[in-house]
Amino acid sequence: MHARILCVVLLGTFAVVSAKIDPRNLKCLVCHKTFDELNAAIQKTEKWKKIDVGNFRMDASGNTMQERVPAHRSAVYISELVDGICKKMDDYVRVYFKSTGKLALMQLMSPSGGMNPDFSKTKFVTDDDLNKSLEYYCERMFEENEDEIIALYKNRPDDDIMPDSAQEICFKQTNYCEEWMLPDEQDTTWTPEMEAEYVKIHGPDPYGFGGGMGGMGGMGGMGGMGDFGGMPPMEDEDDESAEHEEL
């Protein structure tokens, strides 16, 4: 909740660039983040924790037709975890890496509670389609693939081994993802020398959080990024000088 409030404050304070984002690319990133979060949540679940599954009908002996199963293999428990993860998706924001212009999702706050230091590598961007939040994409992904997702986690051969759910669902089942969509070392590399060169060309990040914000990192629009590092071209882009708009 604090991250969402901070995001609203920042959007109201700084210039923000609105850009047309490929919906499939965004769905891929949301899908991938969802399973990163789900795997982490399941690994933290106590293995002794069990829940009742089945129905409340009684057999001939008067016993309820239920069984107790490990929570981390329960469809109900996994569904609850995903529901919470989808709500948490709005703590992420859309960014472009300065080095390559590749789209990514990044949490506003670090685990320690401060501003995510990796924002210094990125520029903040808002999607033209503001009606569809990251939470929306997460929920739709789960609703459309719930049976397949549940089966992956229920049928694991070992409790401590997570299924390659991102590969199975995000790539194979939904066809959301291609390898180029996921950030790699080239995208995330941002050295002081690269920042200095960037400032020479574009100034001290006037549309982000660099320069004048005490080193809070670089959020902002995608203006002036130049070559997108081999990414497929985006269609219908306006001239860069017309993209910046003061809120």
pLDDT of residue 165: 93
CA distance 25 to 31: 10
Which strands make up the sheet holding 103-107, listed edge to edge? 103-107, 92-97, 122-127, 16-19, 244-245
What average pLDDT does the structure give for the chain?
75
The whole-number average pLDDT for the span 45-65 is 64
- Give the pLDDT band of residue 147 (cuts 50, 70, 90): very high
The pLDDT score that the predictor gives to residue 170 is 97
State how far the Cα of 44 lies from the Cα of 179, in Å rounded to an integer: 28
| Rounded CA separation 52/67 (Å) | 6
Each residue's pLDDT tens digit, 97-113: 999 999 999 988 887 88
Give pLDDT, residue 30: 96
Query: Average pLDDT for residues 136-162, to the nearest whole number?
Result: 90
* 101-134 as b/e: b if 16+ CB within 10 A: bbbbbbbbeeeeeebbebbbbbbbbbbeeeeeeb
The 3-state DSSP class for residue 65 equals strand
Please determine, for residue 146, whether its predicted confidence score (pLDDT) is greater than 60.
Answer: yes
Q: Is the pLDDT of residue 9 over 50?
A: no
**pLDDT grade for 233, boundaries at 50, 70 and 90:** very low
Contact, 21 vs 102, CB < 8 A? no
Q: Is the pLDDT of residue 219 over 50?
A: no
Model pTM? 0.72
Q: Cα 199 to the chain's mean position, in Å?
A: 28
- For residues 228 and 237, give the distance between their C-alpha atoms in angstroms, rounded to a whole number: 13
Q: Give the Cβ contact number of residue 223 at 10 Å.
A: 20
> How much is the average pLDDT of 212-229?
36
The more confidently predicted of residues 7 and 216 is 7
Secondary structure letter of residue 181 according to DSSP: G
Under 8 Å between Cβ of 6 and 114: no
Can you tell me which residue has the tokens 């949490």? Answer: 107
Q: What is the pLDDT of residue 19?
A: 63
